[in-house]
């Protein structure tokens, strides 16, 4: 079974803090993705990566950065958290050459 894990289920941070969200997959997948999910807006792609040390901007990259130093790990960084970044953050991975994505359980982030 594919397993995608995220470092925290719930996180509370203060405005201006630097926030790290970690995602790890154990199936040797090439591709990894970060989304945020908000009521009425659905899933929105923030960043994705097709290989180690590679990254591509998604639809809403502003205010975020990512790091992929190892194949199994993809980190999302909020450089200076703001209240409008309160959201559910979902990580996903997929094998290279395949379109089906497998999701982690999500991190619910609250920025006060």
Partner 1 sequence: QKEVEQDPGPLSVPEGAIVSLNCTYSNSAFQYFMWYRQYSRKGPELLMYTYSSGNKEDGRFTAQVDKSSKYISLFIRDSQPSDSATYLCAMSRNSGNTPLVFGKGTRLSVIA
Binding site for partner 1 (CB under 8 A): 4, 31, 33, 40-43, 45, 48, 50, 58, 90, 92, 96-106, 108
| Whole-angstrom distance, CA of residue 103 vs CA of residue 5 | 8
By beta-carbon proximity to partner 1, the closer residue of 31 and 87 is 31
d(CA 13, CA 51): 30
Measured CA angle at 51 (ends 28, 70), to 5 deg: 65
Tell me the closest approach of the beta carbon of residue 15 to partner 1, in angstroms: 24
Task: Select 5 or 65, whichever has its Cβ closest to partner 1.
Answer: 5
- The nearest distance, CB 80 to partner 1, in angstroms, is 26
Shortest Å distance, C-beta 95 to partner 1: 10
DSSP 12-58: EE-TT--EEEEEEESS--SEEEEEEEETTTEEEEEEEESSTT--EE-
Supply the DSSP symbol for 7: S
Q: Considering beta carbons, is residue 73 or 108 the nearer one to partner 1?
A: 108
Comparing CB distances to partner 1, the nearer of 42 and 84 is 42
């Amino acid at each position: 079974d594919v397993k995608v894990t995220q470092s925290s289920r719930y996180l509370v941070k203060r405005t201006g803090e630097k926030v790290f969200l970690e995602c790890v997959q154990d199936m040797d997948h090439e591709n990894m993705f970060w989304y945020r999910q908000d009521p009425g807006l659905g899933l929105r792609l923030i960043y994705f990566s097709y290989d180690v040390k590679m990254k591509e901007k998604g639809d809403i990259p502003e205010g975020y950065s990512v790091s992929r130093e190892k194949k199994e790990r993809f980190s999302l960084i909020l450089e200076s958290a703001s209240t409008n970044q309160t959201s559910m953050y979902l990580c996903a991975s997929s094998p290279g050459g395949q379109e089906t994505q497998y999701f982690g359980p999500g991190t619910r982030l609250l920025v006060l």
